[in-house]
Amino acid sequence: MSAAGQSGAAVDMPVRAVALYNNGYGVFERKAVVSGRGSIELYFREADMKDVLQSLTFRSENDTSGLGNISYESSRPQALIQLSSSNPLVDLCQSLKGTRLQIVFKAGDSLEGTVLGVDETLRRQDGAEAVPHVTLLTDDGTSLQSMEISTIEKLTILDADVRHDVQHALELFRSEKKRDMQRLTIFYHDIGDSKQLLVKYGLKVGEWKSSYRIVFSDHPSDFKLEGFAIITNTQEEDWTDVELTLVVGAPLFASSSTGSGASANRGTIELQIKELVGTSFYVRADPRTTIDEVKSKIKNQKGVEVERQKLIYAGKELESGRTLSDYNIANGAIINLVTRSGRSAPQTRTSQRKFVMAAEDNLSFYPIHLPVTVKRKQSAVVPLLKAELKGHKVVLYDETIRKGNPLCAILFENTTGRTLDGGSVQVMNETRFLGDAVFQTLHPGDESLPIPYAVDLSCEVVVDYNVSVLRVHRVKIKEGFAKLYRKRRQRTLYRICNKSGRTLDFMLNHLFLDGWELMQAHTEEEEPVDITDKFYQFRFIVPAKTDKKVFNVREGTQDEESIDLDSVGEETLTKWLSKKIIDHQVYDKIKETIGLRSNAMEKAKTIYEKEAEVRDVKDTQTRLRDNILALKNFEKDSAKYVKSLSAEEDKLKALFASIKALRQEKSALEKKRKDMINRIEFTCDVKGDDDDEVEK
């Protein structure tokens, strides 16, 4: 970056201050001392030029006097004159077609004219080899002259605009990186004494990431929190001794159109969200995006409330509070969406998104007190904060993380007065490393979730399950079906053995299933201290040297069994009556339908027997016809077979009539039975002598 004054001397205008937001936005400030009249040229990537122009401000110290306009290249710069490093003079002559030149030859003579082109097939006068010749039309327009390019001593371009094109080509050739850059020029004039010119602009840059270090002191509740930022200079120039400010709290992206409540759907990675019906849609996010934020993006696109969403990746449900990076979810990942029952919110229209900032009141600014230097395309670690905090050491048992042993964890309140950007954290004391952890973003006053960092091998946890299905507690009969409702009970026993000499502040994450509810607690410690969309979290004390502390979690749900009354037999009906699932009136009605079903089955049996007789009669008729055919010349002998055939025909007609009548009777019985079943309606809460009696 350079500035040219009245004297033409180049003036550097380096980056002096950088503010990096954790949403990937950067604000840059440049300074240079200038005087008189001149211009400053800055180069930016084509993709960044729009952001720069929208945010650009420039002034001379405390005022704007002496500043003119800005100009910029609206497209990627390209050289009209093509140059190469292998044969530059030939390339130049080829590009100068139609340009007036003055050529001085090594022999001392000169020539002026307009270039018509370069011919690389012409041979020297001795005919030895073909060499490039440039052909000129003389100024008087009377003759064409071709001369070997190798005989040219000096070449002067007489057209001023072409000279400018050649200079531009040389500039691009001199700095290869500027081939993909666009130039922005700031003009100033009438600046008397030397003044400092300030230029400020913003554009999207790579996000910076946070990392932390927790250092325990001798006091069990005191610790130091040290924060660091990993920043990357994605620009095409070095940052040397810049004044750096890091900002936490800016949202990723937000809506710019009329879609009510729509949130951003932009980020560095694209996720495919696949629904159970087979349709898919896409959301954009960032590796640091939390699962809750992904669900919010889905809500804005599909109208599915966050609490109704269940996201599954690689066969595992994504948990609230974690980030995409916790599951190694990368660009192009497929996440399955399971929608729980419930009503959806109205869908909002798809809207265009733009990059925005949060209100300043919601931002936390971290000025870095020492100058920072970061080379182009390199990263650096800078200190972010140091704070003395109070926390609680706990142990956390979570089977989704580790079975058999709890994890050493820490809880603390963010009393720094600033937003702590979520990130990785190393836990240690004054002498040794204790473990790694991750925590989510904490705003001022927020209390952290348990942050696990190591395994506590001195404590063991064994989990047992006891599931029982209770007797029917409710029945509902309608439209030919009996629905029986039973309660299912599950007791989860956590047997905890604390071998250490420490009293443990024990936190337990109990994973629950959809449709199950926590039963009334018997003791105060059985009341959860927190409930997420996946866990009940309990907190209690486990004394030192405890061989076995048993902690119970009792849950219940309701099973529904639907039984077609058409399939109910007398044994089942009698059992229902004895267990008071139905009363005598319903018993009599259903028993009557069972009788009708029995009668219909008897009719069906009789029909089957009659149809067997029909088959026998037809077999007899076939035999008689064969005999008659064989005795056709013996009328007296065949007459008795004809008489028998007539009798069998009368028998067949009688059987058909009987079968028809039986079928009508059977159909009437079935219709009557169906009508009776559909008219039976009964609802009852079944009161047993013992609510905990198990259904046999």
DSSP letters of 301-353? HH---GGGEEEEETTEEPPTT-BGGGGT--TT-EEEEEEPSSPPPPPPPP--E
The DSSP bridge partners found for residue 560 are 485
- The whole-number average pLDDT for the span 224-233 is 92
Q: How confident is the model at residue 171 (pLDDT cuts 50, 70, 90)?
A: low
Q: How confident is the model at residue 212 (pLDDT cuts 50, 70, 90)?
A: very high
At 165 the pLDDT is 76
Q: For residues 285 and 271, is the Cβ–Cβ distance under 8 A?
A: yes
Distance of alpha carbon 104 from alpha carbon 108, whole angstroms: 7
The DSSP bridge partners found for residue 224 are 215, 388
Q: Which of 151-155, 208-212, 540-544 has the lowest mean pLDDT?
A: 151-155
Q: For residues 518 and 506, is the Cβ–Cβ distance under 8 A?
A: no
At 226 the pLDDT is 92
Strand duo 25-45 + 15-21: pairing = antiparallel
Mind spelling out the 3-state secondary structure of 666-692?
Answer: HHHHHHHHHHHHHHCCEEEECCCCCCC
| Element housing 161 (H / E) | helix 160-174
- The whole-number average pLDDT for the span 140-154 is 81
Per-residue CA distances from 637 to 370, 595, 620, 626, 628 (Å): 133, 54, 18, 13, 9
- The whole-number average pLDDT for the span 423-447 is 88
User: Which of residues 78 and 116 earns the better pLDDT score?
Assistant: 116
Helix, strand, coil distribution of the chain in percent, nearest 5: 25, 45, 30
Per-residue CA distances from 635 to 391, 627, 645, 647, 681 (Å): 120, 12, 15, 18, 71
pLDDT in tens, 564-623: 999 999 999 999 999 899 999 999 999 999 999 999 999 999 999 999 999 999 999 898
Q: How confident is the model at residue 53 (pLDDT cuts 50, 70, 90)?
A: confident
At 79 the pLDDT is 53
Position 392, amino acid: H
Residue 355 contacts by C-beta under 8 Å, 6 or more apart in sequence?
23, 25, 204, 253, 266
Whether 368 has a pLDDT exceeding 60, the answer reads yes
pLDDT in tens, 80-104: 566 665 677 787 787 788 888 888 8
At 661 the pLDDT is 94
From the list 196, 182, 223, 582, the residue with the least C-alpha distance to 393 is 223
Q: How confident is the model at residue 347 (pLDDT cuts 50, 70, 90)?
A: very low
Q: Of 155-164, 192-201, 206-215, 273-282, which one has max mean pLDDT?
A: 206-215
Whether 262 has a pLDDT exceeding 60, the answer reads no
At 354 the pLDDT is 40
How is residue 675 written in tokens?
């009508």
Distance of alpha carbon 43 from alpha carbon 49, whole angstroms: 9
From the list 649, 627, 400, 367, the residue with the least C-alpha distance to 512 is 400
Q: For residues 332 and 243, is the Cβ–Cβ distance under 8 A?
A: no
Please give the angle made by the CA atoms of 7, 9 and 10, to the nearest 5 degrees: 145
Give the three-class secondary structure for 283: strand
Q: Of 183-197, 350-364, 474-488, 511-525, which one has max mean pLDDT?
A: 474-488
Distance of alpha carbon 596 from alpha carbon 599, whole angstroms: 5
User: Which of residues 391 and 73 earns the better pLDDT score?
Assistant: 391
Q: How confident is the model at residue 267 (pLDDT cuts 50, 70, 90)?
A: low
Alpha helices in 41-159 (DSSP H): 49-55, 88-95
Instruction: Report percent pLDDT > 90 for the chain.
Output: 35
CATH topology of domain 261-337: Ubiquitin-like (UB roll) (3.10.20)
Give the three-class secondary structure for 458: coil
From the list 555, 476, 482, the residue with the least C-alpha distance to 519 is 555
Q: How is residue 341 annotated by DSSP?
A: S
Give the three-class secondary structure for 372: strand
Residue 566 contacts by C-beta under 8 Å, 6 or more apart in sequence?
480, 597, 677
Per-residue CA distances from 548 to 453, 497, 506, 585 (Å): 25, 5, 14, 54
Architecture of domain 100-158: Roll (2.30)
At 344 the pLDDT is 43
Distance of alpha carbon 456 from alpha carbon 496, whole angstroms: 12
Q: For residues 450 and 409, is the Cβ–Cβ distance under 8 A?
A: yes
Q: Which of 258-267, 289-298, 336-345, 572-581 has the lowest mean pLDDT?
A: 258-267
Q: Of 9-13, 102-106, 329-333, 493-497, which one has max mean pLDDT?
A: 493-497
Distance of alpha carbon 1 from alpha carbon 273, whole angstroms: 45
Position 193, amino acid: D
pLDDT in tens, 401-417: 899 999 999 999 999 88
At 666 the pLDDT is 93
Strands (E), 276-333: 280-285, 309-313, 316-317
At 507 the pLDDT is 95
From the list 348, 335, 355, the residue with the least C-alpha distance to 268 is 355
Question: Which residue is associated with the tokens 């490393």?
Answer: 433
User: Which of residues 282 and 584 earns the better pLDDT score?
Assistant: 584
Q: Is 389 exposed, middle or buried (0-12, 13-18, 19+ CB in 10 A)?
A: middle
Distance, C-alpha 48 to centroid of its chain: 26
User: Which of residues 555 and 89 earns the better pLDDT score?
Assistant: 555
Mean pLDDT of the chain: 82
At 546 the pLDDT is 93
Q: How confident is the model at residue 355 (pLDDT cuts 50, 70, 90)?
A: very low
Q: How confident is the model at residue 263 (pLDDT cuts 50, 70, 90)?
A: very low
How is residue 379 written in tokens?
């990263």
The DSSP bridge partners found for residue 228 are 211, 383
- The whole-number average pLDDT for the span 388-398 is 93
At 4 the pLDDT is 44
DSSP one-letter string for 498-547 = E-SSS-EEEEEEEE--TT-EEPPPSSGGGS-SEE-SSEEEEEEEE-TTEE
Residue 631 contacts by C-beta under 8 Å, 6 or more apart in sequence?
637, 638, 641
pLDDT in tens, 11-27: 678 999 999 988 888 99
Position 474, amino acid: R
Question: Which residue is associated with the tokens 């013992």?
Answer: 690
Residue 643 contacts by C-beta under 8 Å, 6 or more apart in sequence?
none
Q: How many CB atoms lie within 10 A of CB 345?
A: 14
Question: Which residue is associated with the tokens 């009792």?
Answer: 554
From the list 577, 524, 521, 514, the residue with the least C-alpha distance to 553 is 521
Q: How confident is the model at residue 356 (pLDDT cuts 50, 70, 90)?
A: very low
At 688 the pLDDT is 66
- The whole-number average pLDDT for the span 140-147 is 78
Q: How many CB atoms lie within 10 A of CB 17?
A: 16
Give the three-class secondary structure for 486: strand
At 230 the pLDDT is 92
Residues in the chain: 696
At 301 the pLDDT is 81
| Cα dihedral: 353, 354, 360, 362 (round 10) | 30
How is residue 322 written in tokens?
């974690």
Q: Which of 55-69, 442-456, 502-516, 668-682 has the lowest mean pLDDT?
A: 55-69
Whether 510 has a pLDDT exceeding 70, the answer reads yes
Give the three-class secondary structure for 444: coil
Q: How many helices (H) and strands (E) does the chain have?
A: 7, 37
At 442 the pLDDT is 86
Distance of alpha carbon 677 from alpha carbon 526, whole angstroms: 47
Distance of alpha carbon 22 from alpha carbon 17, whole angstroms: 17
